[in-house]
Amino acid sequence: AQSVTQLDSQVPVFEEAPVELRCNYSSSVSVYLFWYVQYPNQGLQLLLKYLSGSTLVESINGFEAEFNKSQTSFHLRKPSVHISDTAEYFCAVTGGGSYIPTFGRGTSLIVHP
Amino acid sequence: KAGVTQTPRYLIKTRGQQVTLSCSPISGHRSVSWYQQTPGQGLQFLFEYFSETQRNKGNFPGRFSGRQFSNSRSEMNVSTLELGDSALYLCASSRGRGDSPLHFGNGTRLTVT
């Protein structure tokens, strides 16, 4: 069975600073990778996904993630964060015979002014 | 395109009662999944329905059940409520493939007193 590890439960950062949220998964077989964001009192929203092709994927609001097969990682980065990026971020993986995503425990990104 | 709709948004129930939650998926999505979200346990998968059939089930007791109708709308039922059932219940719809991202509703906040 797949497992997903988000190494940091909470990441505090100042506005306009860069940030990296880490995600590692267990299986080395063909996988699909997702990052979701959850704002307070809302459900999760898809931020970006890796299905195939270029290992660097980008979202419309400046986030990017790089698929690293050898390190089984899919870290999320943003070069300059805004207060509005404060939210919970979840990494998820499907594949390896399963189409039900396995979610990480989430990372709370807290952006301070 | 209308998003995933969950009703009601908030519920307060007494221990021992039962509750039914409703989810209307995105048009064209045949897969509906249910998740329980709590601060201590994170996101936990309850079950997934695809074309009116339960296709996958998580590790929850039989008090948790669900069904899906021919129009893909889904309901989740919890009988004999316990205090520990207090949580945010999230419904997500998708095309039901490994490369299909989930589209979440805003959830139903259930409080058991």
Query: Closest by alpha carbon to B68, among B45, B86, B91?
Result: B91
Dist. CA B89–CA A83, nearest whole Å? 27
CB contact under 8 A, B99 and A94: yes
Q: Per-residue confidence of chain B (113 residues) as pLDDT tens digits?
A: 689 999 999 999 999 999 999 999 999 999 999 999 998 888 999 999 999 999 999 999 999 999 999 999 999 999 999 999 999 999 999 998 888 999 999 999 999 99
Query: Phi, psi at residue A22, to the nearest 5°?
Result: -95, 145
Instruction: Pick left, alpha or beta for residue B52 (phi over 0 → left; psi -120 to 50 → alpha; otherwise beta).
Output: left
CB contact under 8 A, B42 and A106: yes
Instruction: Pick left, alpha or beta for residue A16 (phi over 0 → left; psi -120 to 50 → alpha; otherwise beta).
Output: left
CB contact under 8 A, B43 and A103: yes
CB contact under 8 A, A100 and B33: yes
pLDDT at A56: 87
Nearest CA in chain B to A106: B42
Query: Closest by alpha carbon to B92, among B42, B40, B38, B45?
Result: B45
pLDDT at A98: 78
Name the DSSP letter for residue B102: P
Q: Which residue among A43, A90, A100 places its CB closest to the CB of B105? A: A43
pLDDT digits (tens, 9 = 90+) for A70-108: 899 999 999 999 999 999 999 999 987 778 899 999 999
Chains A, B: CB contacts within 8 A come to 47
Q: How far does B81 lie from chain A, in Å, by closest CA? A: 23
Q: Which residue among B90, B98, B105 places its CB closest to the CB of A99? A: B98
CB contact under 8 A, B101 and A34: yes
Dist. CA B79–CA A68, nearest whole Å? 44
Helix (H) or strand (E) holding B68: strand B64-68
pLDDT at A27 over 80: no
Query: Residue B100 is which amino acid?
Result: S
Could you tell me where the DSSP H helices lie in chain A?
none
A33-47 residues labelled b (16+ CB within 10 A) or e (exposed): bbbbbbeeeebbeeb
Question: Which tokens hold the place of B74?
Answer: 């889904």
